Amino acid sequence: MKFQYVFLLFVVLMTSTIGVKNQVIASVWNPIKDVNDPHVIDIAKYAVTEQDKKAKLNLKLDKVISGETKVEVGTTYCLNISASDNIVSNKYNVVVLEKKHFRNLTSFVPLQG
Ligand SMILES: *[C@@H]1O[C@H](CO)[C@@H](O)[C@H](O)[C@H]1NC(C)=O
Ligand SMILES: *[C@@H]1O[C@H](CO)[C@@H](O)[C@H](O)[C@H]1NC(C)=O
C-alpha cells in the first residue's frame, strides 16, 4: 500500500517534469504585439546599422512593420522593417539573435512588394 503510493507519486512527478521540459524545448514563433516597443526598435536599428557596415550602405530605419520572436538559447527576432537611403524606402526581412548582451544579425534580405 505504502509502496504503491510512493510509486504513484513518482510517476506523477516524472510526468510533470517531462511536461515542463517539453514546453521549454518546443519553442514557437510569437507575433510581436507592439512593433513600437523600444526594444524592438532597438533590435531593428541594430540590424540596419550592421547591414550598413557590412554592405557599405547608408540605410536608416523608417519603422518596424511586423515581427515575431522565438525564445531558445537566446531570443531570435524576425522583423519586417522599412528602411530608406536618402532616395527610396524599401522593405526588408531581418533576423537578429539576442543572447544577453550579445547580438548578431543573421539575415537581412529585401522583401518583395
Ligand atoms: C513579413 O512579410 C511577409 C510578406 O508580407 C510575410 O509573409 C511574413 O509573414 C512577414 N514576417 C513577419 C515576421 O512579420
Ligand atoms: C553571426 O551570424 C552569421 C550568419 O548566421 C554567422 O556566420 C556568424 O558566425 C555569427 N557570428 C557570431 C559571432 O556568432
**Domains of the chain (ranges, CATH numbers):** 30-110 (3.10.450.10)
Q: Which residue has the cell 513518482?
A: 10
38: CA distance to ligand 2 center in Å? 24
Mean pLDDT of 70-85: 96
107 lines ligand 2 (CB under 6 A): no
Identify which of 96, 95, 97, 88 has the alpha carbon closest to the alpha carbon of residue 58. Answer: 88
**Helix (H), strand (E) at residue 30:** strand 30-31
Q: Is 25 exposed, middle or buried (0-12, 13-18, 19+ CB in 10 A)?
A: exposed
Name the percent of the chain lying above pLDDT 70: 76
Identify which of 86, 43, 30, 82 has the alpha carbon closest to the alpha carbon of residue 61. Answer: 82
Q: Does residue 5 surpass a pLDDT of 90?
A: no
What pLDDT score was predicted for residue 112? 81
Determine contact, residues 76/96, Cβ cutoff 8 Å: yes
Q: 86: pLDDT confidence band, cut at 50, 70 and 90? A: confident
17 lines ligand 2 (CB under 6 A): no
54: CA distance to ligand 2 center in Å? 13
Q: Which residue has the higher pLDDT, 72 or 42?
A: 42
* Shortest-distance Cα residue to atom 2 of ligand 2: 106
Name the percent of the chain lying above pLDDT 90: 70
Mean pLDDT of 56-81: 96
